[in-house]
C-alpha cells in the first residue's frame, strides 16, 4: 500500500476521488486505517491507501470523441491500441457505453516487468495475476503498446511480459468473505482486509456472498 499525507480541507471522499476516480470508495480508506471518525481528518495525518483499479464514470454520451477523451485523459495519448485496451477490459469494444456506467481502467504507469524463465501461457498469467483468463487480451494489448509484441499465447523463456496495474478478482464459489480473504491475503490483518474488500465491493452483507459474483481484491 502507498501512504497519503492529509492536507488541510481533505475529506475521505475527495481523497478516494483523486486516488480511485470514485469518491464513494472513501470507506475503503476508512477500513484500511481503522478510522472510527472518518469525517474528521487531521492535516499531517498519514493514511494507508490500498490499491484499487482506477474508475471512470461515463457522464457524457458515448461516441468517438468521448472515447478519445477518456484515452487522452488517463493515458496521455489517443493511440487506438490504448483505447482498445480499456474498451476490451470493460466489454465495450463492440457495444455502446451506457450513460452513468462505471469503467475500470488498467494502469500502464503501474505496469511491472515480468521476466519469463520457463515457458508460460499468457492465459495462465492472466488467471494467476488477475483471476480471469479472459484478460489475456489486456496483456497482449499492453505489451503491444509497450513495443513488446507477443503474438502467441505461449511465451518462451527470455521474454519480458508487461503486467499492467489491475486488481485481481475472484468468482465466488460458495466461500465466505473470511475464507476468501484468508486464502488471498493470509491470516495477518484478515479482519482489516475483510473490511477493505467489503468496502471496495459495496458488500452490505459480507457473510453472504452471491455465487458467481466477481469480487474485486484490492492490494
pLDDT tens figures, 18-57: 999 999 999 999 999 999 888 899 999 999 999 999 999 9
For the chain, the domains span 2-52, 109-166, 170-217
Can you point out the beta strands (E) in the chain?
Answer: 2-5, 46-49, 55-57, 102-104, 107-115, 120-121, 154-155, 160-165, 168-171, 214-217
Q: What is the mean pLDDT of the chain?
A: 95
- Is 0.85 surpassed by the pTM of this model? yes
Given a cut of 90, is residue 1 above it in pLDDT?
no
Given a cut of 90, is residue 61 above it in pLDDT?
yes
Distance in angstroms (rounded) separating the CA atoms of residues 183 and 187: 8
Distance in angstroms (rounded) separating the CA atoms of residues 111 and 189: 26
**pLDDT at position 112:** 96
Q: How far is CA 58 from the centre of its chain?
A: 17
What is the architecture, at CATH level 2, of domain 2-52? Roll (3.10)
Q: Nearest 5°: phi and psi at 168? A: -70, 145
Amino acid at each position: 500500500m502507498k501512504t497519503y499525507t492529509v492536507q488541510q480541507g481533505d475529506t475521505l471522499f475527495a481523497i478516494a476521488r483523486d486516488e480511485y476516480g470514485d469518491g464513494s470508495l472513501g470507506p475503503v480508506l476508512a477500513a484500511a486505517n481503522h478510522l472510527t471518525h472518518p469525517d474528521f481528518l487531521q492535516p499531517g495525518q498519514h493514511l494507508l491507501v490500498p490499491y484499487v483499479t482506477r474508475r471512470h464514470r461515463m457522464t457524457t454520451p458515448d461516441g468517438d470523441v468521448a472515447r478519445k477523451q477518456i484515452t487522452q485523459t488517463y493515458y496521455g495519448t489517443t493511440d487506438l491500441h490504448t483505447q482498445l485496451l480499456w474498451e476490451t477490459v470493460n466489454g465495450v469494444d463492440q457495444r455502446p457505453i451506457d450513460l452513468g456506467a462505471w469503467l475500470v481502467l488498467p494502469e500502464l504507469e503501474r505496469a511491472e516487468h515480468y521476466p519469463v524463465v520457463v515457458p508460460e501461457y499468457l492465459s495462465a498469467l492472466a488467471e494467476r495475476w488477475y483471476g480471469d483468463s479472459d484478460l489475456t487480451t489486456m496483456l497482449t494489448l499492453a505489451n503491444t503498446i509497450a513495443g513488446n509484441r507477443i503474438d502467441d499465447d505461449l511465451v518462451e523463456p527470455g521474454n519480458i511480459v508487461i503486467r499492467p496495474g489491475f486488481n485481481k478478482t475472484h468468482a465466488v464459489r460458495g466461500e465466505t468473505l473470511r475464507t476468501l480473504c484468508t486464502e488471498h491475503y493470509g491470516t495477518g490483518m484478515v479482519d482489516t482486509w475483510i473490511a477493505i474488500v467489503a468496502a471496495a465491493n459495496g458488500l452490505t452483507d459480507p457473510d453472504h456472498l452471491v455465487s458467481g459474483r466477481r469480487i474485486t481484491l484490492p492490494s
